[in-house]
Structure formats: C-alpha cells, structure tokens
Amino acid sequence: MDLTLKIWRQENAQARGKFETYKVTGISEDASFLEMLDILNESMVDKVQLPIAFDHDCREGICGMCSLYINGRPHGPDQGITVCQMHMRNFKDGSTIVIEPWRAKPFPVIKDLMIDRSAFDLIIQAGGYVSVHTGGVPDANSIPIKKEHAELAMDAAACIGCGACVATCKNASAMLFVSAKVSQMALLPQGKIEAARRVQKMVAEMDDLGFGNCTNTYACEAECPKDIKISNIARMNWQFLIAKVGAQKMNA
Amino acid sequence: MKLDSKIPDGPLAEKWTNYKASQDLVNPANKRKIDIIVVGTGLAGAGAAASLGELGFNVKIFCIQDSPRRAHSIAAQGGINATKNYPNDGDSIYRLFYDTVKGGDYRAREANVYRLAEVSSNIIDQCVAQGVPFARDYGGLLDNRSFGGAQVSRTFYARGQTGQQLLLGAYGALSKEIHKGSVELFTRREMLDLVVIDGKARGIITRNLINGKLEKYFGHAVVIATGGYGNAFFLSTMAMTSNGSAAWQVYKKGAFFGNPNFTQIHPTCIPVHGDYQSKLTLMSESLRNDGRIWVPKNKEDAEKIQKGELKPGGIKEEDRDYYLERRYPAFGNLVPRDVASRAAKERCDAGYGVGSTGLAVYLDFADAIKRLGKNVIEARYGNLFQMYEKIVDENPYETPMMIYPAIHYTMGGIWVDYELQTTIPGLFAAGEANFSDHGANRLGASALMQGLSDGYFVLPYTLQNYLADQIQVARIPTDHPEFEKTEKEITERQEKLMAVKGSQSVDGIHKKLGRIMWEYVGMGRNQEGLEKAIGMIRELRAEFWKDVRIPGRIDELNIELDKAMRVADFLELGELMAKDALDRKESCGGHFREEYQTPEGEALRDDENFTFVSAWEYQGDDKEPILHKEPLIYENIEVKQRDYK
C-alpha cells in the first residue's frame, strides 16, 4: 500500500506544532499501524532526521500507552481495539491518513504525538483503591461475591487507562475512566466500605485537574477500546449522590 | 568471592518461619531515616514499594513508561498459581513446590521454591482484599482452572487479563502510598547505572526520557525489578521498552548473573508475518486446554498449504498428525511449554509446517466446538479469538488458528541469595529480573506468583534484615565523588554513541542480533552454532560501535539514543547468554543442546555434572567472565527425568 500521512509535529510542550506530510510506500496490509509508523521512522533515521515521537509499549492492546487520533478518531476507525492492534488492512491503498496527539487540557502534548496523562494517576492516587495494607487480610473465600457482581466489576476493571474517553469527549470529561474504577470497587464488598469517601475524593480530583463534565453524548463508550459501559457513569453518579446525602445526614 | 546462598538451617517447611523469627528488624522511628530505591513498577516492584512504604520507609520508585500501571506484568493472560486447594483435588504447598522444581527440570533452589509455594496462598488473600475481580462460581467463591500441564486446578484467573488485574491491584496499593507520601514516583525514567560506594549499593543514575537529563538518586538499598531480557532476540512477547540494561549494568558493577541462557519459548504465539514485524503476540496457553495441535501427515500437503493451494479443511482426519498426542499420550496437548515448543519446531524444520512461511502449526478447536458448543468456547476464549482475528484476519471458529513458538520469559537473571540480595551488598533483585525460582523452565501461571511473592512477602522482610545495620548511615549527598564519577561515565558513553554517526539504524542492528540469537541461541543449540554465534555477536558489536546512526542530541527527548543504549547492552548480554549455553553441556528445561538428547529426541540432563547454578562474574569488557557454580542440593525431592509420555 502507498499512503500519504499528515502527522502532527511539535518540538516540545511550549512550541507551536504543525502538520507535516509524509509518504510511505509498499506497506503490507498485514502490518500493524504502529509498524507502519516504525517504517516511516526508519526512513527518517536514514535521512538523519529525528523520528516521530509516539507512545507505545506492549503492542498487544493491554498496557494503554498508545494514544493517537487517526482521521479524527481515538485509536482509529475500528471498534474495540487500541492503535497497536489495528492493522493496515483497515485502510485503502492510496489514501491520506491524518495522525494527531490526543487533545485535552489535562493531557498536554510532550512532543509530536506523545502526551502527558499523569492526571489519570493523580485521580487514582486520590482514592482509586481499597485501603488495605500488605498482610493481615482475611482468607480469600471468606468474602463470597455474587458471580454477577464479580463479572460487572471485571467489566469495569478492564479499563486500560488510555484516555480515549477523554480524547473523544467534546468536554474532555474523564467520567468514564473515573466511573470504571468507582464501579469496580463499589460492586465488591471489599470496596464498599470506603465507597463514599472514594467517589468524593476521585471526583474532586478529576474536577481540580480540569476535566470537563459529562453531557451524555455516549462518545466515550463508542470509542473505548475495552467496551467500558456508560452505565458505570450512572453508577458513579448514584454513588456520589448517596455519599452526599450520607454526609448531610451525618452533619444534621 | 565465594557464593553464599544463605539458605536458613532447619527442615524445608520451617526455613522461612525460622528466618522471619530470627531476622533483624528496623524500629519504626528508624524506618523514617531510611531511603529505598525500587526500579520498575511491575508486580515485584510495585508490590515491594507499596509494602515498604506501608512499613514506614521512604521509597522512590521509577518506571520507564508514563505510568506505573503500564509495566509489562499487565500483559500476562492466563492466571496465578496458589496452593489454596479450594477445589479439594489434593493440592498442597509441597505439591506446588514439587511441580515447580520438576517443571524447572531440577535446576532451581529448593528453599526458594518452597517459600514461593508457601506464600502463594497469602497472595490470593491479598489480591482479593484489594478488590481484584477474580473469576467466581455461582456460589460466590473463587474459581480455579488447571493450567499448563498441572494435574490439580490451582490457577486463579480474571478472564484472560489476570496480569492486568493483579498489576492494577498492586498499582492501587502503590498509588495509596504515593498519596500518603511514603513513596515518591518518577515516571519516564530509565536507570542507566548503579552507584556503589564502599562496596555497597547506594544509588542509581537515571535518564529523564523527556529532556535527556541525567538524574542522581541516593538510597540505603536498591531493588532491581526491571523484568526480563527476552528482547535480546528483538522479536519476543515482551513490551517494546522491556530491556536488560539495569540487570546488565549491575552485572558490570559486580552483581553475578545467574543462568543467563535459560530462556522460555512459549509455544502458542501468532506466527511471524514480515520483516517489519516489531513484536510477537501471545495467545494464552489456556487455549491448549481445548485446542488440538496438528500439522499435515504428508509433506506434499504441507507444501500445498504453504503455497496457498490447499486449506486446512481440505485435509482429511487420517492425514493429520496430532504430534503432541502421538508423542506424549499422557499429557497430549498439555505438555510443558519447552516440550511443546520444541515439538513444533521439529515438525516445521522437517518440512511439515503450515502457513505461507512454513513456520506455523495448527491449533484446532473444531472438536471442542463439536463437543461443547460454540457458546462454551466463546465464553472461554472469546476475547482471544477476537484478538487473533484482528491480527491475522481469519476466523478461528471456522478455520484452525496458526501458532508458532516465541521468546516469552527469561528464567535467568541477576543471581540472588535466599534474601533476594545480589552479590553487591544492599542491591536486591526481584521478579523476572532475578534468576531464582524457575530453574531451567517456568511453569504457566507462576511468573505472577513469583513477582508478587517477592514484592509483597519476601522483600519487606529480607530488606529489613539488611537495613537493620544501616540505620547509622546518613543519607549520602548525590555530589559524592562516586555519583559524579558514574554520571561522567554515562555521559561519555552517550557521547561516544552519538559521535559514531554511522549508516545503520539501531533497530536494523537489533534485528541482526535477534536473528543470530534466534538461530543459534534459541530453541535448539549446539556447540558449533553457539561458537559461531559468539563470533557473530562480537562482530556485530564492533559494527554497532562503528556504524550506528543516531540523529538528534543527548539533552533532548531522543528515542533512538534510548534504544541505542539498550541495544549496546543486549549486544554484550547476548554473548554471555551464548557463552552460558555453550558451557552447559546438557539439555534441561528451555535449554536444549542438540548433542544431549535421548534416542527419542527428548532432553537429556546431566545431573552428575550440571546440578548447579551458573553465576557469572564480570571481569572487564575484553576479559572472559569467571564462572562460579552454586551447587543445587535436593534433600526433599527425588530428582527424576521429566517424563510427560
């Protein structure tokens, strides 16, 4: 396949970026999208040019590091996969592909297509866990959990923290990401104990970091590579409400 | 220097209890005065950092990715072993210990493996308490499955994403400690060297991958938890940034390297499709529970398939060779990974391979679908089938999958004693980065167990035993001459690389190394090939330092320079792997020396001469390393030839 690529280049976080046009030829349909970028980068190294910086690591769709808009869509045209799992057979020979870094205020560009998603770590640090320490925990089977709840928790826990939900949302909302963790924990007896505290802390951190609010466009669910459901947001809102009411009762 | 594995006295089952009862501890007031550096945020690193932070130590943790949640533990699919015996099928600590030592082909240390089996149950308790959503039955209790040839069901799993869920559990614990302030997190940093002061590990120097600056960090102790070095082969199931550099740098500073040649080749990966390929994708081993592996019985059929003239469906049942079932009737498709991998290579080398390259075998679910129904297969493997179809563009419900072995795990690593301490005092190694628990072959679902065991339950004890007499040591400022000297050495090395200005890309040379490693230091090894490989690697190393091309500058984000530093180390480590393979004149586990096999083509161990750990000591760039032998003594297990027939 021969392709024209319009790729965002940006020297560093402060610099102004712009699109540059590149041609690649003879790309196999069986190559992955990132392998196509590898081939382009190799040709740039041949010309002693700095290759395009992009994030990637496991290349099997689980680490959540890859993050590109391809023709305007996070993780490209296919459903339910990350960029690294997409293969060139999804594109037509001779076509032009536009590649950009994800754009959201809390995800500043580092260089070219690399972005800084440490905001997600900060949200988790605010409370996205069960506060147990190593050792001294009960036997695993002393906490029976309804299979349905365990399955729902697992659905939510499948989030890879890539940020596609934020990237696709017109409000740059992180509600799907945050709600996935809130839901996972709230569905499990271990997590229920500090559910109220958790949801309040995580939502406050999310707001502080400048993520927008949810206006129910469902774009996040459509673009999530792990099919995280928007019902998690409803569950989080419910948890948030319970926490608020609970706090008012305590104060009354 | 004499190797001392520091195995505690007493009966096997009491060693760890006795150790803990008599070890030194650090009192809470003094813990605050102690800094610990942890490099790597996988199961071992994150688990250790979180647990040590909880105890009150000051921990600094470093990762190469943008977030600790992305460490490659996340990619493990199948599960984690533990001796809970929930299914009531006869599991016990001894049985897991026995299986692990046997699976490792009697090249692992008894006491370490026993401790691993002993703490395995605590790991499951810990993970459940953290909210890890393991699979459950309708009664609400935890579900188990049999995995990788085990005769009991002791594997806990979270769909096909067990590694992800365990890592996110550890990441949660780590995040909790970061929030509390006991752990400080440094992302997008790569450790480039260890700082040794007066013979003790006292710090590290990292490259900030965003701005290229070198940064110096002090620690009373340093933990290396940077995973394995399988990317020496270029193509592997490892992540792109997985590398051997931290292990290699500490080796060059005096830590011994244990069993460098012991590499695991996983039998069920998606076959290679082209020169541009950047990594190999694993299909979970659990697929072998229901899939049947075969190739055509007739070479003519195989050739037609390779040319695309024949489809697998066109081959009649009687013309199929289910070679694992034929050769190993007792275990069939569930033989250990090394046995399954070699058998696939044997068939393909003999010309019976399928796919356009002839380097693939079929993994067929037709019988399982007939027996159990498509729904059941979909529930078990749906996500894997979908992943396969995305990559290969074929539907495995209708046509058999194609698989081929790929580099997956390195059992070898930094030599450690019972306390997970290396031969440099104050330097510890955990998880895949150390050599300790899997001998010459790792069993499925045991890597996650070892990472978490080391991180949650071993290091928090053994590190304290070391640190107890370090409480008088004041924090050493990072302008100490040793820090400055080490920093200067790194700068010179980087400048030397940039000054080459040659004509070949880093990846180009890395691929050449990978081909040498795969051909001669891969699944089948022999003296002639290994000697040849050593020569070729030396030549390639010289070529690299004469002809590598790195654009850009040192003091900026420079991916090519980052990769070049790693490949420079792989070019040295690869040679040591070959050397170790050459020295070990026997076949054991993942190490198959073609000269040492039974008439039936099975691996032939030489227990009389090789029941030892090879621990290599660095002597200098152009000098031969010294081989130390740690004898392996089996007092609690009868050493047998592995037999899966």
B641 pLDDT above the threshold of 90: no
Cβ atoms within 10 Å, residue A94: 9
**Record: fold of A118-251:** Fumarate Reductase Iron-sulfur Protein; Chain B, domain 2 (1.10.1060)
B558 interfaces chain A, CB cutoff of 8 Å: yes
Residue B277 confidence (pLDDT) above 80: yes
Give yes or no for B505 touching A (CB within 8 A): yes
Give the gap in angstroms from C-alpha A203 to the nearest C-alpha of chain B: 16
pLDDT digits (tens, 9 = 90+) for A171-181: 999 999 999 99
Q: What is the C-alpha to C-alpha distance for residues A66 and B581, in angstroms, rounded to an integer?
A: 37
Q: Give the pLDDT of residue B291.
A: 94
pLDDT at B274: 85
- Map tokens 């709230």 to a residue: A186
- What's the rounded Cα separation, in Å, for the pair B95 and A201? 45
Q: How confident is the model at residue B379 (pLDDT cuts 50, 70, 90)?
A: confident
Please tell me if residue B511 touches chain A, with a CB cutoff of 8 Å: no
The CA distance from A245 to the nearest CA of chain B, in Å, is: 25
Which DSSP category does B320 fall into?
E
Q: Average pLDDT in the B21-28 region?
A: 96
- What's the CA angle centered on B380, arms A176 and A189, to 5 degrees? 50
Q: Does B420 touch chain A (CB under 8 A)?
A: no
| Mean pLDDT on A206-213 | 97
Q: What is the pLDDT of residues B209-266, one digit of tens each?
A: 999 999 999 999 999 999 999 999 999 999 999 999 999 999 999 999 999 999 999 9
B29's tokens: 């007031």
What is the crossing angle of helices B506-520 and A33-46, to 10°? 120
Nearest CA in chain A to B185: A121
Per-residue pLDDT at A142: 97
Domain boundaries, chain A: 3-111, 118-251
The model's confidence at residue B309, banded by pLDDT at 50, 70 and 90, is very high
Q: Closest to B278 (Cβ–Cβ): which among A34, A118, A134?
A: A34
Amino acid letter, B22: S
B144 vs A: CB within 8 A: no
Percentage of the residues of chain B whose pLDDT score is greater than 70:
100
Q: How far is CA B522 from CA A118, B76, B338, B514, B529, in A?
A: 39, 22, 11, 10, 10
For range A203-208, the mean pLDDT: 98
Supply angle C-alpha A64, A69, A71, rounded to 5. 145
pLDDT of residue B298: 96
Residues of chain B contacting residue A132, judged by C-beta atoms under 8 Å apart: 126, 129-130, 173
| The predicted structure's pLDDT at residue A3 | 98
Convert the pLDDT of each residue in B459-470 to its tens digit. 999 999 999 999
Reading the block at residue B542, the tokens are 């010289």
List, for residues A38-69, the tens digit of each pLDDT value: 999 999 999 999 999 999 999 999 999 999 99
Q: What is the mean pLDDT of chain B?
A: 96
pLDDT at A213 over 70: yes
Judged against a pLDDT cut of 80, whether residue B644 lies above it is answered with no
8 Å CB contact of A147 and B140: yes
CA distance linking residue A166 with residue B460, whole number of Å: 38
DSSP H or E stretch at residue A124: helix A118-125
Instruction: Determine the 3-state secondary structure of B242 from DSSP.
Output: coil
Verify whether the Cβ–Cβ distance A135 to B126 is below 8 Å.
Answer: yes
> Tokens representing A35?
């392998």
ipTM surpassing 0.90:
yes
Q: What is the mean pLDDT of residues B464-479?
A: 97
What count of residues does chain A have?
A: 252
**Catalytic residue list contains B337:** yes
b/e map B135-164, b = 16+ CB within 10 Å: bbeeeebbbbbbbbbbebbbbbbbbbbbbb
Spell out which residues of chain B touch residue A46, defining contact as CB-CB under 8 Å.
505, 549
CATH of domain A3-111: 3.10.20.30
Cβ contact (<8 Å) for B140 and A65? no
Note whether A134 contacts B86, CB cutoff 8 Å: no
Q: Note whether B70 contacts A57, CB cutoff 8 Å.
A: yes
pLDDT at A252: 67
| CA distance readout (Å), B288 to B78, B292, B324 | 11, 7, 11
Bridge partners for B194 per DSSP: B204
Q: Which CATH architecture has domain B267-407?
A: Alpha-Beta Complex (3.90)
Which of A60, A148, A152 is the mutation pick for testing B, counting most B CBs within 10 A? Answer: A60
Across B72-84, average pLDDT: 95
Among candidate residues A5, A47, A52, the one with its CA nearest the CA of residue A24: A5
Q: What is the 3-state secondary structure (H, E, C) of B344-359?
A: HHHHHHCCCCCCCCCC
Q: What is the pLDDT of residue B2?
A: 79
Q: Is the pLDDT of residue A250 over 80?
A: no
- Distance from CA of residue B225 to its chain's centroid? 11
Enumerate residues 34 to 63 of chain B having a beta carbon within 8 A of any beta carbon in chain A. 47, 50-51, 54
Task: State the first-to-last Cα distance of chain A, in angstroms, to the nearest integer.
Answer: 69
Q: What is the pLDDT of residues B97-115, one digit of tens each?
A: 999 999 999 999 999 999 9
Judged by DSSP in three states, A197 sits in: helix
* Residue ranges of A 21-40 with Cβ closer than 8 A to chain B: 28, 30-32, 34-35, 38-39
Q: How many CB atoms lie under 10 A from the CB of residue B435? A: 29
Compute φ and ψ for B610, nearest 5 degrees: -130, 20
Q: Judge whether B541 is closer than 8 Å to chain A, CB to CB.
A: no
Q: Does A148 touch chain B (CB under 8 A)?
A: no
Q: Do A50 and B273 touch (CB under 8 A)?
A: no
Same fold, B267-407 and B488-624: no
User: Over 90: is that where the pLDDT of B200 sits?
Assistant: yes
Q: Which CATH architecture has domain B488-624?
A: Up-down Bundle (1.20)
Q: Does B210 touch chain A (CB under 8 A)?
A: yes
